[in-house]
Amino acid sequence: MRVTPNLVVESPKGRQTLTISAVEHTLRLSELLRRKHLPLNTRCGQRSLCDGCVVELLTGQVVHAATGEIVAAPHTIRGCEYRLAYDGDVTLRIPPRSLLAYEPQVVSDFKTKVPHAHDPLWQQIPIPPGGLAAIHRRRPVKLSPAICGSALPGATGNAPTYATLEYHGDHWLVTGLASQPDPQPLGIAIDIGTTTVALLVTDLRDGRVLSGAANFNKQMHLGDDVLTRINLCATDPAMLRHLQDLIVKDTLAPLITEAVAKAGATPDRIRCLTIAANTTMLHLFAGVDPSPIGVAPFTPAFLHHRILRSTDLPFPPPLSELCFTIHLLPGAAAYVGADLTAGAFATGLVYDEGPALLVDVGTNGEIVLKRGDKLYGCATAAGPAFEGAGLTNGVRAADGAISHIEITANPLTVKLDKIGHSTPIGLCGTAYVDFLAVGRESGLLNHRGRIEKNAVADPDHRIIPWKDYGLAFRVAYGPGKTDIVIAETDIANLLQAKAAIAAGILILLERIGLTPAQIKTLYLAGGFGLHLNRAHAIRCGLLPGFTAEQIEVVGNTSLAGAYLALLDCGALDEIARAGSRMEVIELNLDSRFEDRYIEQLSL
């Protein structure tokens, strides 16, 4: 008779003994642990392409789900590949870097370089003499069906003296009449990133930021990049609703509730949301199939400013009991989304005399060029290497992540900066950029990114053989004196990512007849850019041919654009205008892109 085993799990959350049901023992460990509220870092969508979900089998046996091979302890395994065996209990240890629940470092800081009016997308105004007709003479308004026939000023008794207006692009919709103004109407600006989500709660009466909140996008345990999520929807239609639930119900709802409470308010004060995100994230949020974005000719279902009601979305209580308006910001193309058009506006790039560039280094390297009155945009698939995905000890920026590295040669010495005060758990993207630059400069790396063991004195034996292929450089010791290393295979992945971004920048400049030296300002956006050593980014070739003086770090420009649009309907119009006038360059159709990419693979 088969016996359902117990599962003992050692993790940063402590030691837990989990009782496993007969149904659960057939699940892969990654799915089983997710159900037990210990989600693993399944960054590649559980396709066995990374080591994000690696766990240590301390006692007992597991079974390879695909081959049926039995593996006994001690062993290191990927949680997405194995399930529990029937014989005996099993003990697993989850390293900190493999547990999804560590605290993210999400950037909600930004610079805005454009003036804006206070003309929010939701507002209450005193009804002037002449009633709504007088309002209509100032701006185009329509009445919502809910208030048609309502009492208007001039009547006796409790006649309404305030009108509630909501912006709908070509007109304002009158959605309410009241005798008293709303005491605290809240608007929320949101940036939905592929990896992280950040939001700001504002008072719509004066635009003050009251609070903020940020967390990981819960979709990421199904895959690190948008293509993985698009493919999930293409192969299994049920995944669309699941991915929508993950962002709306599991990510945004708790963040909104948390941030509103921090603002000293209640959710019933929410009147309006603005959301900036890449095109795929907006589709998944709205519950619209993104599958056509994944295949040529890469056609999204929508790019325009889209208005939803909260009741159209799977919010849980108490948000499900409310009705507020949600504005999805407009984008330019399938891979040049609203996050980039919002950033182009918020940084002032759209008004910059230029030539100027906006570069957002993430899973996709997204680039906008302004020259004269022309805007050009492109995206290049860098992959998630700079977010730590697919790398031996790569992690996202979080407590315990090594964020910066300095190396000196002969003898080899290493100086590290780390986020927080805990034991190092791995390296985040900014540290990898440092390593490429200082590794080459110190002689540790050659121009092809290979480790030169005999070129430097190594008294601490940091250069070590790595598994069955090549060498690795030990940066530090992690929990339990485990090696935190950068392997030659990691360097190859990093070179591919930086080459894709560099080639995208160079091809876009060449298409317009410019060189890096002619760019007046390079606006470097995103959390990665905010903490990046600019000199190292230039020296390793990520930003080829530029100088540190040309680079201006601008933070989360996607959130900045959502914030400006929330408070100024004119800003929303300008973001839409930027998207509609942007010429999108398809790099995959440029015969020179591959040549530039190959050139940029070296250090």
**Alpha-carbon span 54 to 41, nearest angstrom:** 8
**Alpha-carbon span 19 to 36, nearest angstrom:** 10
Distance of CA 100 to the CA centre of its chain: 15
- Tell me which residues of the chain have a pLDDT lower than 50: 1, 101-107, 149-157
Helix/strand/coil (H, E, C) string of 336-360?
ECHHHHHHHHHCCHHHCCCCEEEEE
Q: What is the pTM of this model?
A: 0.81
**For the chain, the helix, strand and coil percentages under 3-state DSSP, each to the nearest 5:** 30, 30, 40
The pLDDT value recorded for residue 510 is 94
In single-letter form, the type of residue at position 564 comes to L
| Lateral strand order in the sheet of 582-584 | 551-555, 521-525, 356-361, 364-371, 374-381, 582-584
**Alpha-carbon span 375 to 368, nearest angstrom:** 7
**Alpha-carbon span 574 to 555, nearest angstrom:** 20
The pLDDT value recorded for residue 32 is 83
The pLDDT value recorded for residue 95 is 79
308 in Cβ contact with 365 (< 8 Å) = no
The pLDDT value recorded for residue 108 is 53
